[in-house]
Amino acid sequence: MKNFLNTVRNSGPIKTRELVLVDHTMVDAYGNLTLWALMDHMNGVKKKRLEALQLNEQWKEKVVNIDMKMYNAAELNDQLAIESCFVQNGKKTVDLKVYVSRQKKGQPAKRVCKTIYTVAIHRAR
């Protein structure tokens, strides 16, 4: 495969956005969003994005690195915007950047976390 990012561009949008409302199943006893619930949603976005690539059977994708930075906490009934985008990181590697922001009416959005999944492709054996 000559350029993985061209495959990404041809398979769908480079950027996506998904809104999630923090409910009682996603928070701890103090009403704060748990890391596990946040990771579940981000991994769901990652899975959808990688499935959308629709690579043929001779190529496989592999997540080789995950870098996560937490900034602010989210609470019960907060609305989260999960945005993702692919960025080229080499000839056969891309970064899937996932940004999570907390949005409250009448206030600017606050970043909750940023996660970068480094995805490489290789020949299936």
| Domains by residue range for the chain, with CATH | 4-123 (3.10.129.10)
Residue 1 clears pLDDT 60, i.e. is over it? no
- Say if CB 7 and CB 1 are below 8 A apart: yes
Does 24 have pLDDT greater than 70? yes
Query: How wide is the angle at C-alpha 10 spanned by C-alphas 9 and 16, nearest 5°?
Result: 50
Q: CA dist 67 to 28, 64, 98, 117, Å?
A: 24, 10, 10, 7
Q: What's the pLDDT tens digit per position in 27-69?
A: 999 999 999 999 999 999 998 888 877 666 777 888 899 999 9
Tell me the pLDDT band of 85, cut-offs 50, 70 and 90: very high
91: tokens are 């000839």
- Report percent pLDDT > 90 for the chain: 53
First to last CA, the chain: 15
Whole-model pTM?
A: 0.84
| Model pLDDT, residue 3 | 60
Q: How far apart are CA 90 and CA 101, in angstroms?
A: 28
User: Among candidates 78, 66, 65, 67, which has minimal Cα distance to 37?
Assistant: 78
